[in-house]
Amino acid sequence: MKLRQFSAAALLFLASTPLAAQIDDVPVSHSDYQFGDEAHLDRRIEQSAIEYGIVGGAVAAARGDRTLYLRGFGMADREAGLDATADTVFPMASVTKFITAAAIMLLVDEGKLDLETPVNSYLGNDGVRPTYGREEEITLGRVMSHTAGLPFLYEPIYADENRVRPSFAELMQEHGYTILPPGVSSEYSNLGYEILAEIIRRQSGMAYEDFIRTRLFEPLGMASAYIHTGRERPPGTAQRYMADGSIVPGVDTSHPGAANAFMSVRDMIRFGQFWLRAYRGESTLMSQHAARLMITNDQGEEGKGAAHGLWPEEYPAETLYVSHGGGMAGAKTRLAILPELGLVIAVAINEGNATAEAVLGEEMIRSFETQSNLYWRSPKVPEALEGYWSGTIGGNGPVAHLTLDFRNPLQPRASLDGRDVLVRSVGGDGPFKIRLDAQLEGVGFGVTHDLRLRLWNIDGQLVGEVKQQAIGQRDRDNPGKGFWVRMSEAG
C-alpha cells in the first residue's frame, strides 16, 4: 500500500507529514479498488474534509488482515501546528463500549460470567433498583444490549469544572434504577456500560483499565490504545474542537466504561480485525460463539437490532453491517465491520460532526465494494443521454478532449484526453448534470478541483458549460472557472 501525503496545493490546511508504515506487508493493488483508485479516494477524503469543515481526522480500511488504506488529514492540534496522521491518538467516545463488551465476552468464555444471570448477582450492595420489572429480569445480557430498562445518563466532567468523578457506589445511588420494565425497549445507556466496567473489576480482580490493557490492547499489539481517567487532555492526543472552532477543555466522564478509550485509527482497525477473526472462528483470544453473541439481540436473533456490544444495521443488498460509533464534544468516531465481505472501516475526527463521519466511512466502503451503500447509489444515465458521446472542452481555444461512454446506463464511463476518469453522478433532464472526479491540467487557477457539467441536447449535440469546481480552503473560497463543452454522439 502506497502511503502518500496530501499536497499543499491540493488542500492547504491538510497534513503534509507522511504516514507511518502499514500494519501488514501485503501491497495494495489497483484491483483492490472497485471504484477509482487510491488517488481518487484521497481526493474524495480531501473534499469531504473541506465540505464539512473538519479541523482534522484520520481514516483507515482493511480487508481481513490486510490494511487497504490509512490516511490522516487536517490538524490534530491547530494551535500547536500538529498534523493529523493515521497514528494520531483520538478520543473514542462510545466506541469504548465495543471494547468493554469484548472484555465481558472474554470473561464469559472463561466461565466467570453468564449473560442470563441477573446483573445484581455481580454487584453486591451496589445493584440496580427495579423501579419497574423484577430484579431477576435485569440480566447481564440486557445491560449489554441496552434493554435492561436503565435511565439515560451522560455526565462529562470538564477540566475547568470543580467536580470529581463519583465512585461507583455514588453513581448507582444516584442513578441506579430502572425507568422501564426490562426487555421492553432498547434505551441507550452509558450507565449500563459503567456497570459492565465495574463487573470486570470485580470478576477479574483488576482495575478496569488494566484488564483492557493486558487482556486486549497488549495481545493485539495496539500500542497507542488506553483507557484514560482524568479531566486533563492526555499528552499528544488530538485537540477537541467545537463546530465554531473553539477548543473543548479536557474531559473525564462518570462512566469510563462507556466513553474513555483513546487510540489511533491504525489500532481501531486492529481491534476490528480481531473481532472479525473471532466472528470467523479464527481467534485464539475470543471464541466464535462469544463474537457472534455480540451481534445477537435480546431475542436471540443475530444481526437484528440492539445487540451485545455492536449495532447491526440494515444495509443495501442485504449485507450484514455491524458497528459502534462514538460522539462527544470535539470527537466523532466509528468502527464498522462488514463481516461477510471481510471489510473493516475506521473513522476518527476531532469535532462532533456526525454527517462528516458517516460520509468518510461510506466513501471508503464505496471504494472497495461494488454495491451501493447508505449514502451513495451507483449513477444511472437518463435515457436521453444513453450512447457514446465525444467532443471538446474549450475556452479561448480547445482545452481537452472528453468522451462519455453512456451505452450501458448502469455503468457510465468517461475519459479526459484519453485518461479514464470517474463518473461521480449523472442525472437531470435538461440541463443534464454530470460530475466527474477529474481535473483539467494547465488551465484555470491551479487549485484542486473536480468537473461539474451542465449540458443541453440541442439539435442532437450536447452543449453547455463545465465548471472547474474548486475544493475550498478552510478560511476562504478558492477560485473556479467555466469552459464551454460541445459533444456529438459518435455511434
Q: Determine, yes or no, domain membership for 2.
A: no
Q: What is the pLDDT of residue 86?
A: 96
The answer to whether position 301 is within a domain reads yes
Quickly tell me which residue has 477543555 as its cell. Answer: 249
In this structure, are 184 and 246 located in the same domain? yes
- Condensed to tens digits (0 to 9), the pLDDT of residues 355-403 reads 899 889 988 998 898 665 665 666 789 999 999 999 999 988 999 999 9
Q: 344, 368, 392 — which closes off a domain? A: 368
Structure confidence at residue 376 (pLDDT): 61
pLDDT score, position 194: 98
Are 397 and 316 in the same domain?
Answer: no
Instruction: Check whether residue 236 and residue 164 sit in a common domain.
Output: yes
CB 387 within 8 A of CB 365: no
pTM of the model as a whole:
0.82
Task: Indicate if 249 and 148 belong to the same structural domain.
Answer: yes
Q: Which residue among 368, 391, 413 closes a domain?
A: 368
Q: Which of 314, 336, 368 is the last residue of a domain?
A: 368
Residues of the chain with pLDDT under 50: 1-25
Q: Are 104 and 190 in the same domain? A: yes
Is the separation of the CB atoms in 462 and 456 below 8 Å? yes
Are 277 and 418 members of one domain?
Answer: no
5 in a structural domain? no
Number of domains into which the chain is organized: 2
Collapsed DSSP state (helix, strand, coil) of residue 481: strand
Check residue 307 and report its DSSP letter: B
Q: What is the CATH number of the domain that holds 269?
A: 3.40.710.10
The three-class DSSP label of residue 26 is coil
Q: Is residue 305 part of a domain?
A: yes
CATH of the domain at 459: 2.40.128
String of DSSP letters for 165-197: PPPHHHHHHHH-B-SS-TTS-----HHHHHHHH
Q: 332 and 395 share a domain?
A: no
Give me the DSSP letters along 397-445.
SEEEEEEEEESSTTS-EEEETTEEEEEEEEEESSSEEEEEE---TT-TT
Looking at the fold, whether 124 and 179 belong to one and the same domain comes out as yes
Are 287 and 428 members of one domain?
Answer: no
Does 302 lie in the same domain as 413?
A: no
Report the pLDDT value the prediction gives residue 51, as an integer from 0 to 100.
Answer: 84
* pLDDT tens per residue across span 279-329: 999 999 999 999 999 999 888 887 777 899 998 877 766 788 999 999 999
Distances (CA, A) of 312 to 255, 275, 461: 24, 14, 49
- What is d(CA 321, CA 323) in angstroms, rounded to the nearest whole number? 7
Residue 183 lies in a domain: yes
In a shared domain, residues 161 and 259: yes
Is residue 207 domain-resident? yes
In a domain, 9, yes or no: no
Query: Rounded CA gap, 73 and 15, in Å?
Result: 5
Any domain includes 15: no
Name the residue range of residue 442's domain. 383-489
156 lies in the same domain as 283:
yes
SS3 readout for 334-377: EEEEEHHHCEEEEEEECCCCHHHHHHHHHHHHHHHCCCCCCCCC
